Amino acid sequence: MPLARKPRLGVFKFASCDGCQLSVLDCEDELLAIAGAVDIADFREASRAVLEGPYDLSLVEGSVTTAHDAQRIKEIRKQSKALVTIGACATSGGIQALKNFGDVEEYRRVVYAHPEFIATLATSTAIADHVPVDFELRGCPISKSQLLEAIGAFLQGRAPNLPNESVCIECKRRGNVCVMVAHGTPCLGPVTQAGCGAICPAFNRGCYGCFGPQATPNTGALIIELKTLGMAPPAVQRLFRTFNANAPAFRAASESVAAEASAP
Amino acid sequence: MTERTIHVDYLARVEGEGALKVRIRDNRVEEVQLKIFEPPRFFEAFLRGRSYLEAPDITARICGICPVAYQMSSCHAMERALGMKVDGPIRELRRLLYCGEWIESHVLHVYLLHAPDFLGYPDAIQMAKDYPEAVQHGLALKKVGNSLMTLLGGREIHPINVRIGGFYRAPTVEELRAFRPELEGALPLAEEMVHFAADLDFPDIEEDYEFVSLRPEKEYPMNEGDVVSNRGVKVPQDRWEDVFEEVQVPHSNALQSVRKGAGSYLVGPLSRYALNRDHLTPRADQLARSVGLPDIVRNPYKSIVVRGIETVYAIEEALRLIEHYHRPERSWVEPPPVTKTVTGAATTEAPRGILFHRYRIGAGGLIEDAKIVAPTSQNQKRIEDDLWHLVERSLALDEATLTDACERAIRNHDPCISCATHFLQLDLERQ
């Protein structure tokens, strides 16, 4: 019986550090099995061979920061049966979305002697702000086990089975002592989506929110708690403004602190 | 008068987005431009106003391939600014973490990115059909590097355990000792990688490089040592700017570095090896000799062998560090309060070469000014020079072959364009 064509996988990059697509190559035990199950049609970091679309599954890393990229993602979407964003840049705009809070013209002048050579948009935005997205993998970087689950699910035509609870739940399951309750260490665990394995509390530090906001984050209550621990408002604001600064819930939290700080 | 043009839109198997343009007129090379169109991300701008304590986590995000390098350069720069001394087991743990990153990054490049060029495959997946053992051993070896980073750093990409002054949590002696069998098992795989690499066919080419690397007194360079070159440069590692400068060229989103009053120079494994060979372990040194590596390697294609030698070194060094480890009482040195404006800089050895960071911190601890010079932006001009020579030698080649040759010449230097700002597009014009 002739086998059906293998599904085509594309891996595409926008503004990013390449860490999330490196996670594909970091699946050392599974990489050759993945390559056996799909045709890697377009994955420039790993291969010179490029097969034309359409793609059954496209993994998209990075955020949109240039007019050219805003156009390119539309083309990729047209060619993709399923499109999954991988990582904080693609799902929220990433660390480079800090420019959304600043003056990009001034940024250009600070970094480059000839800012006129540099083409950039004023904002760094999530892929879902430009095209429909079928699933989002969180994290800075993504978790390898979540990536494998997502690839497997799409190949089997089912929804990925991934948690959307908070890091707190994961932390309890791991048996960590709560760093906030026991040590007074500021922690974004209560408002951050699980998936990392609660590694920061396991290393005696507070969560810094690299998986972005969980489904129903009570950021207001956490902000009160952070201040009770002695954090000044600018420090609270910076805590929400890192790798998912432009995720709506974190953005609103940081802006609420800013508004309060500037109130009379 | 004849003019020729060749275009390659995307250079594959490098980290990031870039293109190359070469213009040839009347069989003479007129212009070579390595174009970096990785979108700019403005780290140096948005670091201003952040706490100096945040720099290791934020700058790690410049590069998913070498986050430890960014964490190390930023930590050392901040600690120098604040007059902190960090030594003993914390210093050794930093070196151990760097060993993990060198192993992971070098093996990734040797087997998955670079070897397919020599053996004529588009990628390592295709190569695995004919060389299954090489690719499987490569993946197993790479995994050991990643496991070491996970053990010490919490995860392999963007480790979470590094902080100014040291680590959030220092591992126990038992945790590190339990990792020895994996490293011991990796050593023969790394030696096999050196032989695999040394047996490849190399173009017979030498380039007249100015090699630049760190040079510590007693060890192969990672976090310490002066910046030195084979042409007489020797400055403390925080004085990089005394000798080198960045210039901006219209065709690139990255800044290019040159040595003031001289020109291009090379950083990375060839340079470290040329300037620090006497600091290799006896086993790594003996292996280099047995595969016929000279004391100074000027053939850029042979960088694949030198990466192998450095991998052997990193595994042996990791074993030594674990053997002598004792857990520090406190896993970090507490930074003093920042009461006035201070400046500090540091250079450390990313897998691809030296990475310079300089910061000015204001009273209260917010960053006022940041400068970061990535290894690939330091190599960019030198890669253009390699390409210039390659194209001059290869004018008779047809477009497709010449284009492939140019891409290979670029991959010799394991460019990370995400760092330099990241994928290459070749645009070769013959007129």
Residue B317 has φ and ψ, to the nearest 5°, of -65, -40
DSSP-assigned letter for residue B170: P
**pLDDT tens by residue, A30-65:** 999 999 999 998 888 888 888 888 999 999 999 999
Tell if the CB–CB gap between B45 and A111 is shorter than 8 Å: yes
Q: Is the pLDDT of residue B5 over 60?
A: no
Which of A6, A45, A211 to mutate to test binding with chain B, by most B CBs within 10 Å of its CB?
A45
Q: Are A219 and A191 in contact (CB under 8 A)?
A: yes
Which CA distances in Å does B135 have to A39, A40, A56, A68, B305?
18, 17, 26, 36, 16
- What local confidence, expressed as pLDDT, does residue B1 receive? 46
How many CB atoms sit inside 10 A of residue A98's CB? 26
Q: Are A210 and B158 in contact (CB under 8 A)?
A: yes
CA of A50: which chain B residue's CA is closest? B122
Which CA distances in Å does A131 have to A71, A76, B332?
10, 10, 45
Considering only CA atoms, which of B254, B228, B328 is closest in space to residue B38? B254
Peptide bond into A54 cis (omega under 30): yes
Q: Are B396 and B4 in contact (CB under 8 A)?
A: no
Q: Is residue B424 one of the residues assigned to a domain?
A: yes
Instruction: Tell me how many degrees the CA angle A193-A89-A72 measures, rounded to the nearest 5.
Output: 135
Q: Which of A46, A111, A114 sits opposite B13 (nearest CB)?
A: A46
- The sheet with strand B353-361 has its strands ordered as B342-350, B353-361, B367-373
Residue for token pair 């060993």: B99
Tell if the CB–CB gap between B139 and A32 is shorter than 8 Å: yes
CA distance A99 to chain B (A): 7
Q: Are B302 and B202 in contact (CB under 8 A)?
A: yes
Q: Is residue B142 one of the residues assigned to a domain?
A: yes
Global pTM?
A: 0.94
Tell if the CB–CB gap between A47 and B123 is shorter than 8 Å: yes
Domain boundaries along the sequence of chain A = 8-156, 167-262
**pLDDT tens by residue, B217-244:** 999 999 999 999 999 999 999 999 999 9
> pLDDT confidence of A5, banded at 50, 70, 90?
confident
Which of B104, B106, B155 to mutate to test binding with chain A, by most A CBs within 10 Å of its CB?
B155
Helix (H) or strand (E) holding A32: helix A31-37
Can you identify the CATH homologous superfamily of domain A8-156?
A: NADH:ubiquinone oxidoreductase-like, 20kDa subunit (3.40.50.700)
**pLDDT tens by residue, A155-186:** 899 999 999 899 999 999 999 999 999 999 99
- What local confidence, expressed as pLDDT, does residue B415 receive? 81
Q: Is the pLDDT of residue B321 over 80?
A: yes
Q: Give residue B290's region: left, alpha or beta (phi > 0; psi -120 to 50).
A: alpha
Tell if the CB–CB gap between B155 and A199 is shorter than 8 Å: yes
Tell if the CB–CB gap between B65 and A23 is shorter than 8 Å: no
Tell if the CB–CB gap between A35 and B42 is shorter than 8 Å: no
Q: Is the pLDDT of residue A120 over 80?
A: no
CA distance A37 to chain B (A): 12
CATH of the domain at B397: 1.10.645.10
Give the Cα separation of B361 and B55 in Å (integer): 11
Which CA distances in Å does B399 have to A76, B202, B393?
29, 21, 14
Q: Is residue B367 one of the residues assigned to a domain?
A: yes
Q: Is the pLDDT of residue B165 over 70?
A: yes
Considering only CA atoms, which of B62, B79, B55 is closest in space to residue B15? B62
Instruction: Tell me how many degrees the CA angle B414-B415-B417 measures, rounded to the nearest 5.
Output: 150
Give the Cα separation of B337 and B349 in Å (integer): 29
Instruction: Please enumerate in sequence order all residues whose Cβ is within 8 A of that of B104, keeping only pairs 6 or more positions apart, or say none.
Output: B142, B145, B146, B149, B156
CB pairs under 8 A between A and B: 185
Q: Are B251 and B35 in contact (CB under 8 A)?
A: yes
Q: Are strands B18-25 and B353-361 parallel, antiparallel or unpaired?
A: unpaired
- What local confidence, expressed as pLDDT, does residue A115 receive? 62
Q: Number of folded domains in chain B?
A: 1
User: What is the identity of the amino acid at B129?
Assistant: K
Q: Domain containing B98: what range?
A: 3-209+214-224+255-430
Q: Is the pLDDT of residue B147 over 60?
A: yes
> pLDDT confidence of A112, banded at 50, 70, 90?
low
CA of A100: which chain B residue's CA is closest? B46
Which of A32, A42, A111 to mutate to test binding with chain B, by most B CBs within 10 Å of its CB?
A111
Q: Is residue B250 one of the residues assigned to a domain?
A: no
Token pair of B388, please? Answer: 């210039």
Q: How far is CA B350 from the centre of its chain?
A: 4
Q: Which of A20, A48, A196 sits opposite B122 (nearest CB)?
A: A48
Give the Cα separation of B412 and B307 in Å (integer): 11
Tell if the CB–CB gap between B54 and A118 is shorter than 8 Å: no
Q: Is residue B393 one of the residues assigned to a domain?
A: yes
Which of A47, A92, A143, A210 to mutate to test binding with chain B, by most B CBs within 10 Å of its CB?
A47
Q: Is residue B324 one of the residues assigned to a domain?
A: yes
Contact residues, chain A, for B362 at CB < 8 Å: none
Q: Is residue B249 one of the residues assigned to a domain?
A: no
Overall average pLDDT of the B78-104 stretch: 98
Give the Cα separation of A92 and A64 in Å (integer): 10
